[in-house]
Amino acid sequence: MKLHSLNLLNVEFFNYAFQGKTKFRYWLLMFLLLFIFAEVLGSLPFIAVMAIQATRGFDLHYSASNPMDLTGMGIPASVGIMLAMMPFVLGFVAFVIFMKPVHQRPFKTLLTGARRFRWKRFFWAVSVWLVLLAAYSLVAHLTGLETFHWSFNSKGFIGLVLVAIFIIPLQTGFEEVLFRGYLMQGFARLTLTRWVPLIVTTLIFGSLHFANPEVQEYGAWMVMPQYLWFGLFFGICTIMDDGLELAWGAHAINNIFGTLFVTQEASAIPTKAFFTITKYNPSFDILALVAISLVFIWLAAMRFRWGNFSLLFKRIHLPLTEYNQNEIIAEPEIQPAKSIDNSSY
């Protein structure tokens, strides 16, 4: 589908799905490239290190239950996490490299509907979600609903900090670009709706966390609602804010917080954080997660003047294309979803 005279500076986030090469074969090619980079190339460093450690007499079955926990094989926690996250990092790199040649539209179109990536929004989300997580942890500790044990170990902590700062944002960035960017735009193109992509990507995002150690430890019925809610929460932020900045910022600091500050014994990212939750209450956790995410949404709606949440259920208006240009007498300028200039925040 070929666009005619489309103003790239004033295109709603989902309308980017109608730009460039949009036939199914291009989406299929992109998924193939993502698979090669993320699953094939991304697994090679992990396989190489495992092979080396096996020749040194370490038991490969040690990491079977949690691939990110390689400490029992003589590998520092930070290195193990970095190896396990390489598929996400290379998946992110694949999007950056191949989005333009495959779909004939910039990588930036997967990030935001504004003129440029809004870093102020990203770091606003980081700071606000960090405060909310800290408040939740404090309440859980003071009420005795969860038990926190001091578990900090200075050995290897600098390496852990470096991984948290430089690798986790790429890991969460890949997930946001894939689910709230590429897939959301794809399903929006198919259905011309916002709520269908929101629900579908929420279900896919949640289901891919089914194998996490927390699910096996506490049960799917107790833990899976958290992942589903995260998918819904990040999706709502993406739709209402017309981009990934808030979702990516909150997602990144959420995983960094769980890596450096407060972790749990059955965590998917096992580290010697400052505190480890030894008595975990999944029922309280999901209620607290819903509460702080609703506070986050309310604060974001006030700060960035989102407007009516009925936007989630409105149909997407087609941009001017070769199929509908003759039906339009005067070529309109496509306006952003909000009445304010989003690029200034």
Neighbours of 281 (CB within 10 A): 18
Residue 143 pairs in a beta bridge with none
Q: What is the pLDDT of residue 245?
A: 98
Cα–Cα nearest to 250, from 137, 123, 91: 123
Q: Distance (Å, rounded) from C-alpha 171 to C-alpha 252?
A: 8
The answer to whether 259 and 81 have CB atoms below 8 angstroms apart is: yes
Q: With a cut of 90, say whether residue 10 has pLDDT above it.
A: no
Q: What is the pLDDT of residue 137?
A: 95
Cα–Cα nearest to 309, from 236, 246, 203: 236
Q: Which of 49-58, 183-192, 243-252, 285-294 has the lowest mean pLDDT?
A: 49-58
The answer to whether 13 and 316 have CB atoms below 8 angstroms apart is: no
The answer to whether 76 and 151 have CB atoms below 8 angstroms apart is: no
Q: What is the pLDDT of residues 287-317, one digit of tens each?
A: 999 999 999 999 999 999 998 999 999 998 8
Query: Does residue 217 belong to any structural domain of this protein?
Result: yes
Q: What is the pLDDT of residue 60?
A: 63
Q: Distance (Å, rounded) from C-alpha 57 to C-alpha 67?
A: 18
Query: Does residue 165 belong to any structural domain of this protein?
Result: yes
Q: Is 5 exposed, middle or buried (0-12, 13-18, 19+ CB in 10 A)?
A: exposed
Q: What is the pLDDT of residue 289?
A: 96
Query: Does residue 226 belong to any structural domain of this protein?
Result: yes
Query: Does residue 163 belong to any structural domain of this protein?
Result: yes
Q: With a cut of 90, say whether residue 97 has pLDDT above it.
A: yes
Query: Does residue 98 belong to any structural domain of this protein?
Result: yes
Q: What is the pLDDT of residues 141-200, one digit of tens each?
A: 999 999 999 999 888 899 999 999 999 999 999 999 999 999 999 999 999 999 999 999
CA triplet 198, 234, 77: central angle to 5 degrees?
130
Q: What is the pLDDT of residue 4?
A: 38
Q: With a cut of 50, say whether residue 79 has pLDDT above it.
A: yes
Q: Which domain holds residue 94?
A: 15-316
Q: With a cut of 80, say whether residue 256 has pLDDT above it.
A: yes
Query: Confidence class of residue 27 from pLDDT cuts 50, 70 and 90?
Result: very high
Q: With a cut of 50, say whether residue 8 has pLDDT above it.
A: no
Q: What is the pLDDT of residue 69?
A: 66
Query: Confidence class of residue 217 from pLDDT cuts 50, 70 and 90?
Result: confident
Query: Does residue 325 belong to any structural domain of this protein?
Result: no
Q: Distance (Å, rounded) from C-alpha 305 to C-alpha 341?
A: 11
Q: Distance (Å, rounded) from C-alpha 54 to C-alpha 45?
A: 14
Q: Distance (Å, rounded) from C-alpha 302 to C-alpha 51?
A: 53
Q: Distance (Å, rounded) from C-alpha 175 to C-alpha 281?
A: 26
Query: Does residue 340 belong to any structural domain of this protein?
Result: no
Mean pLDDT computed over every residue of the chain: 86
Q: Distance (Å, rounded) from C-alpha 140 to C-alpha 142?
A: 6
Q: How large is the average pLDDT for residues 272-276? A: 90
Q: What is the pLDDT of residue 266?
A: 75
Query: Does residue 298 belong to any structural domain of this protein?
Result: yes
Q: What is the pLDDT of residues 313-341, one digit of tens each?
A: 999 887 655 444 443 333 344 444 444 45
Q: How large is the average pLDDT for residues 256-285? A: 88
Q: How large is the average pLDDT for residues 31-58? A: 90
Q: What is the pLDDT of residue 176?
A: 98
Whole-model pTM: value is: 0.88
Q: With a cut of 80, say whether residue 5 has pLDDT above it.
A: no
- Per-residue b or e along 98-115, where b marks 16 or more CB atoms closer than 10 Å to that residue's CB: bbeebbebebbbbbbbbe
Report the domain count for the chain.
1
